[in-house]
């Protein structure tokens, strides 16, 4: 560690360059690797937490590109880090230095993985405070003067009077060096600045207005508010010893405000149920009764057209909990099958390397089965090689002869299949003789879903090189991805790639047509400008043909030498078949990949129906209940459209809502969809298997009904958004830390069945991202809580829009009642403080009937209906103005140009005064005769418009007791749900009839 902290001169290898000599060192907290010199300055670092793997020798792609370099392998190593497995390739001057760094990094990584959640939270907090101090210390003298403190206040979104800041500065400045703060003094200053008024009032309410909690008072708080069972004095004493800072308080067995704050901000008071960090669901049910975490084109690190294929991606997704991975197999040189994305320019990796990586990482985090989804495009000879490698490498993991189901018509359970690998692929038909070594099977895999006239295939002519064409495509693809990122981060479907893929091909034609063969120069070209096709396009329901220059009836577009051409014949309507060898077919057990037209009602189990998102969408829209019945017997896999060349993801909710088990997503793409996927599978120890609700496993219901489960009780979530802590400026703010202090508000989105999908939001707090206070209650009713997700989003309000600050998404079933912190993902300190109450409701008056202790004031005070708000005015002299505002107008979705303007205006120049949109504080309840209107956005999500965003002073007092009562539900009628039992073949035929 000391050698690493003192620093080592190493060569940083990069593609296209000879390498850069830099000094690499481990920071004093052992939390990140830094290097200098660097143009990134403070951002030139790799956090140890983000390191995925360290490999020795010259194994990475960058080293392979520099094959001519005379590097000693014992001096080379690679650090893979980040969600996209970026590589840092380093060369030391001698083997001893390389060994020191490799050993040291692996030691640090192991220590972090073994660290408990409390220790990790404390370590990250300490590191954040130290890093904040270092970044504020502009001249690097280890001291902060008052001007540097003021600049830091602005960066941290703190809007305090300069007089107040100077007063705290002077109180913290206790050493002889007056006028500056060292790190210890800064820590005191930061604690003074961070004093939580909301937590202090909460402590007072349970301590009889003392500044500390006794053991008995702490036990009362845990029982009443946090709903902790079996609270013992020993448990309370342990909390005091673990979180209290003052030694005097520890001796007296009391918890002061600083210790109480530490406890409330610890994992013990996180919103996520700690029991869900482990597998806790029944794992003995058939596979079809589980949602299974699934990846699409697992090997890709980026887009579907030009990105790199890496075996490390298999290691990453398997350890992230994915249990169904995809392997696209193609004929490779020297008889060795390769894995890559067909008809594209993605790089190739050996199938054998992929199999070895899967074998190594499949069961490190959990032993539940892995499904290997093989898309076979190989010749018979190389298929036999694939089968040989699978048997050699996986061995007994493929042997399913000992797996007992108890019922031949029922799939085995995840528990029965522990440690096993299932091969999903084509199987030779039973009609073929057992002695036949090969036969024909249908082919409808995702690589062939793309229209033939949009596939890239090599052809030969005179002109530009393959490199020039690839460069052209890369430029256009970067333009596509850049423009797609301009859109609102929460709008996943505003960009369709089909038209842009089409435009890419047409653009190739236009830009290279001068190199066409002279005898074809007279032919009419139907190509259009590439740039004219850029923009937003809606998905067309009809399969459009791509306009392209063709040579007679040959079906080829004549492009330059070593370029890529468009294959013009359309074969989509004709059923394709491929040759399949017996050795590969025999490895397929329980996971036989079939197409809809191949389903027969023979009572067999183990079929996996594969859909593209387009066809699956049609099935969901037309025959949702029949589709759900099919998914009670068999497995269904839904994968992204081949036109999503930027590796964007579709909305998985409609397919989860009808019980589709294998909803395959592009794990290499960050964003809303992957956050939903992560939240869904985190609920069961992130093991990749989540049990479907019982109503999805037996019987049926209409997920699109206004009351899909009338006989079942509903859940009511009463969510009080109290305050925020250390909310940063938007990550894409143009002026970064120099931008204006944010005006935050919180949006909460409920995600699940269509009837449950809605959004609600708080008012805006003006000029305070450090400790804003909202004190607002949002109420939601959930018909099927088992599949519901809750999404917390923080936005920065701006006169012409809003900017995304951060989010956290959780399964509804993982919420813990009481006072909880919601930490925003990817941020060390940023959080929202909330109070959660969950009720079970049956009818309109159930809160009063089930709990007579609720008074009419509790009942009325928690209700958001306008009629009841009007009644509440009879009891309260100063009712809250915001709860009964007139609904604001529905805002139309902005265009790309508007978004660019919004991004530009979101961080005004220094000195420019912000104008706020909103209404003045109301003193009386306005007309409350009408119900609030629920409006649907483009995704069909109800956005409640019962109030508009309002500016609110940050100094508004906090409610002393912060208590919330339940709300009154609407009338619900109870009906008996009758299940419909049909054979799987008949059901599917009805779906596609």
Nearest CA-CA partner of 889 in 951, 952, 943, 928: 943
Q: Give 532's DSSP letter.
A: G
Nearest CA-CA partner of 488 in 801, 743, 947, 807: 801
Q: Buried (b) or exposed (e) across 96-108, using 16+ Cβ within 10 A?
A: ebbebbbebbeeb
The structure tokens listed for 515 are 């190199």
Cα of 92 vs its chain's centroid, Å: 37
The structure tokens listed for 984 are 């799987």
The structure tokens listed for 3 are 């050698």
The structure tokens listed for 665 are 């997503």
The structure tokens listed for 476 are 């256009």
Q: In what order do the strands lie in the sheet with 76-81?
A: 45-47, 32-36, 20-26, 8-13, 86-91, 76-81, 51-56
Catalytic residue among 127, 276, 296, 341: 296
Active site residue 340: yes
The structure tokens listed for 277 are 């960090």
The structure tokens listed for 89 are 């390739």
CA distance 465 to 535: 29
Q: According to DSSP H, which parts of 771-865 are helical?
A: 846-850, 856-861
CA distance 473 to 501: 10
Active site residue 84: no
Half-sphere exposure of 454 toward its Cβ, with a 13 Å CA cutoff? Answer: 23
The residue behind tokens 């481990």 is 26
The structure tokens listed for 988 are 């599917």
CA distance 185 to 375: 62
Cα dihedral 181/182/185/187 (nearest 10)? 110
- 3-state DSSP call for residue 186? helix
Strand partners for 781:
716
Write phi, then psi, for 891 (nearest 5 degrees): -90, 125
Nearest CA-CA partner of 809 in 687, 680, 988, 686: 680
Strand partners for 791:
749, 809
CA distance 42 to 27: 12
Write phi, then psi, for 931 (nearest 5 degrees): -75, 150
The CA–CA distances, whole Å, from 304 to 353, 479, 613, 615 equal: 21, 15, 16, 20
Neighbours of 781 (CB within 10 A): 18
CA distance 856 to 984: 52
Q: Buried (b) or exposed (e) across 937-966, using 16+ Cβ within 10 A?
A: eeeebbbbbbbbbbbbebeeebeeebebbb
The residue behind tokens 């405000």 is 257
CA distance 715 to 721: 19
- Residue 914 sits at the vertex; the CA angle it makes with 910 and 944, to the nearest 5 degrees, is 135
- Residue 549 sits at the vertex; the CA angle it makes with 548 and 555, to the nearest 5 degrees, is 90
Contact at 8 Å (CB) between 713 and 847? no
CA distance 221 to 239: 13
Strand partners for 935:
943
Catalytic residue among 276, 340, 505, 797: 340
Contact at 8 Å (CB) between 192 and 947? no
CA distance 71 to 60: 13
Catalytic residue list: 296, 340
């Amino acid at each position: 560690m000391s050698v690493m902290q003192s620093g080592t001169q190493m060569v940083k290898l990069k593609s296209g360059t000879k390498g850069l000599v830099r000094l690499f060192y481990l920071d004093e907290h052992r939390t990140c690797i830094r290097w200098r010199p660097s143009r990134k300055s403070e951002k030139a670092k790799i956090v140890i937490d983000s390191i995925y793997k360290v490999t020795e020798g010259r194994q990475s792609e960058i080293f392979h590109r520099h094959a001519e370099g005379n590097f000693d392998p014992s001096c080379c190593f690679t650090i893979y880090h980040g969600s996209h497995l970026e590589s840092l390739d380093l060369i030391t001057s001698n083997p001893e230095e390389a060994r020191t760094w490799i050993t040291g990094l692996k030691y640090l990584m192991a220590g972090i993985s073994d660290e408990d959640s409390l220790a990790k939270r404390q370590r990250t907090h300490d590191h954040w405070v130290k890093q904040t101090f270092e970044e504020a210390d502009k001249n690097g003298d280890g001291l902060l003067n008052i001007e540097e403190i003021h600049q830091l206040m602005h960066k941290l979104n703190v809007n305090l009077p300069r007089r107040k800041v100077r007063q705290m500065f002077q109180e913290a400045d206790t050493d002889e060096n007056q006028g500056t703060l060292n790190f210890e003094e800064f820590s005191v200053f930061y604690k003074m600045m961070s004093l939580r008024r909301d937590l202090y009032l909460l402590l007072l309410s349970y301590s009889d207005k003392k500044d500390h909690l006794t053991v008995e008072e702490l036990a009362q708080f845990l029982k009443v508010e946090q709903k902790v069972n079996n609270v013992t004095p020993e448990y309370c004493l342990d909390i005091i010893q673990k979180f209290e800072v003052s030694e005097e308080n520890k001796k007296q067995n009391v918890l002061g405000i600083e210790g109480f704050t530490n406890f409330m901000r610890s994992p013990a008071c996180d919103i996520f149920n700690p029991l869900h960090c482990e597998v806790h669901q029944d794992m003995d049910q058939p596979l079809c009764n589980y949602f299974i975490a699934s990846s699409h084109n697992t090997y890709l690190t980026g887009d579907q057209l030009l990105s790199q294929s890496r075996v490390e991606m298999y290691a990453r997704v398997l350890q992230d909990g994915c249990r169904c991975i995809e392997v696209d197999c193609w004929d490779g040189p020297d008889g060795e099958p390769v894995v890559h994305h067909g008809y594209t320019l993605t790089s190739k990796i050996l199938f054998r390397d992929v199999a070895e990586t899967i074998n190594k990482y499949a069961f490190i985090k959990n032993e539940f089965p892995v499904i290997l989804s093989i898309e076979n495009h190989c010749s018979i000879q190389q298929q036999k090689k694939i089968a040989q490698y699978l048997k050699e490498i996986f061995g007994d993991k493929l042997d399913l002869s000992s797996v007992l189901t108890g019922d031949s018509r029922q799939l085995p359970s995840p528990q029965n299949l522990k440690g096993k690998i299932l091969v999903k692929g084509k199987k030779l038909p039973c009609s073929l003789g057992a002695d036949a070594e090969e036969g024909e099977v249908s082919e409808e895999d995702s690589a062939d879903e793309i229209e033939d006239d949009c596939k890239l295939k090599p052809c030969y002519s005179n002109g530009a090189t393959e490199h020039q064409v690839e460069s052209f495509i890369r430029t256009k693809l970067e333009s596509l991805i850049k423009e797609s990122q301009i859109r609102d981060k929460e709008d996943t479907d505003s960009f369709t790639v089909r038209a842009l893929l089409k435009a890419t091909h047409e653009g190739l034609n236009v830009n290279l047509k001068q190199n066409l063969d002279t005898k074809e120069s007279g032919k009419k070209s139907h190509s259009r400008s590439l740039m004219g096709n850029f923009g937003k396009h809606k998905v067309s329901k009809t399969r459009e043909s791509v306009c392209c220059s063709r040579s007679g009836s040959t079906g080829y577009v004549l492009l330059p030498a070593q370029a890529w051409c468009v294959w013009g014949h359309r074969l989509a309507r004709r059923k394709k078949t491929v040759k399949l060898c017996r050795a590969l077919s025999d490895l397929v057990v329980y996971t036989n990949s079939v197409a809809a037209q191949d389903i027969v009602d023979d009572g067999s189990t183990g079929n996996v129906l594969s859909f593209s998102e387009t066809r699956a969408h049609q099935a969901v829209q037309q025959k949702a209940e029949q589709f759900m019945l099919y998914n009670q017997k068999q497995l269904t896999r839904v994968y992204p459209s081949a036109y999503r060349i930027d590796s964007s993801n579709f909305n998985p909710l409609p397919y989860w809502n009808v019980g589709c088990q294998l909803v395959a997503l592009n794990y290499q793409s960050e964003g809303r969809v992957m956050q939903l996927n992560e939240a869904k599978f985190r609920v069961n120890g992130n093991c990749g298997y989540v049990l479907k609700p019982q109503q999805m496993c037996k019987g049926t219901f209409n997920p699109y009904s206004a009351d899909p489960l009338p006989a079942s009780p509903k859940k009511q979530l009463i969510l009080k958004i109290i305050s925020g802590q250390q909310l940063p400026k938007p990550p894409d703010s143009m002026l970064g830390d120099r931008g204006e202090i944010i005006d935050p508000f919180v949006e909460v989105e409920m995600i699940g069945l269509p009837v449950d999908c809605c959004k609600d939001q708080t008012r805006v707090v003006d000029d305070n991202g450090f400790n804003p206070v909202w004190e607002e209650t949002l109420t939601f009713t959930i018909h099927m809580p088992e599949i519901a997700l809750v999404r917390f989003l923080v936005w920065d309000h701006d006169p012409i829009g809003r900017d995304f600050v951060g989010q956290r998404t959780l399964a509804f079933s993982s919420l813990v009642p009481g006072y909880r912190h919601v930490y925003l993902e990817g941020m060390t300190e940023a959080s929202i403080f909330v109070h959660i109450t969950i009720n079970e409701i049956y009818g309109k008056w159930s809160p009063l009937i089930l709990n007579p202790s609720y008074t009419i004031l509790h009942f009325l005070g928690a209700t958001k209906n306008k009629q009841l708000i009007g009644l509440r005015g009879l009891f309260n002299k100063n009712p809250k103005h915001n709860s009964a505002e007139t609904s604001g107008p529905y805002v139309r979705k902005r265009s790309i140009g508007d978004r660019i303007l919004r991004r530009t205006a979101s961080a005004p120049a220094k000195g420019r005064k912000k104008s706020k949109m909103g209404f003045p504080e109301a003193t009386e309840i306005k007309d409350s005769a009408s119900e609030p209107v629920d409006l649907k956005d483009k995704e069909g999500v109800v956005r409640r418009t019962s109030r508009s965003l309002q500016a609110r002073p940050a100094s508004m007092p906090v409610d002393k007791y912060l208590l919330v009562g339940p709300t009154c539900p609407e009338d619900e009628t109870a009906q008996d749900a009758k299940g419909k039992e049909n054979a799987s073949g008949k059901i599917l035929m009805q779906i596609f009839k």
